[in-house]
Amino acid sequence: MATRTLDHEILGQIRGLVSEDERTVQYRGIKFADIPGRWQDPILLSGPLSDKAESFDATKYGPSCTQNSNGWLFDLSLIGHVSLEPKKVEQSELDCLNLVVTVPAGVKKLDGLPVMVWYVLRASKGG
């Protein structure tokens, strides 16, 4: 797949994947916070994604939060008879705070684009 590099004034150069139809570019695994240790509050990051002079490789998904490795089977059961090939997903308790950002391929400046955010909140039992 083709890649495209975005030069962001704060995050630095980020290399993302161009979609097959070349209409969008997806930047994956963009870390937005650090978790210093178990049960500690995350610390928001604000600076370059890479210390190197090279661009940050945002062509791969970042690690997901630690969870049951077969949890996706339950998720699929909620939407019907869907069959997906299982994939090995990297999991990390401390490195799972990352984003996937998709933008139109032809955009030159990111100001003024609409933003949609999916946030999953799971209610706790007993309150």
Average pLDDT over residues 51-66: 87
61-103: pLDDT as tens digits = 888 888 776 777 777 778 777 776 766 778 888 888 999 998 8
Confidence of residue 127 (pLDDT cuts 50, 70, 90): very low
Q: Which amino acid is at 51?
A: D
- Closest to 122 (Cα-Cα) out of 77, 67, 81, 70: 67
1-44: pLDDT as tens digits = 799 998 888 899 999 999 999 999 999 999 999 899 988 999 99
Q: Give CA separation, 109 vs 9, 61, 105, 123, in Å.
A: 11, 24, 11, 38
- Closest to 64 (Cα-Cα) out of 37, 29, 36, 32: 29
Higher pLDDT among residues 121 and 64, named by residue? 64
Sequence-distant (≥ 6) Cβ neighbours of residue 94 within 8 angstroms: 34, 35, 37, 38
Higher pLDDT among residues 120 and 35, named by residue? 35
Q: Which amino acid is at 50?
A: S
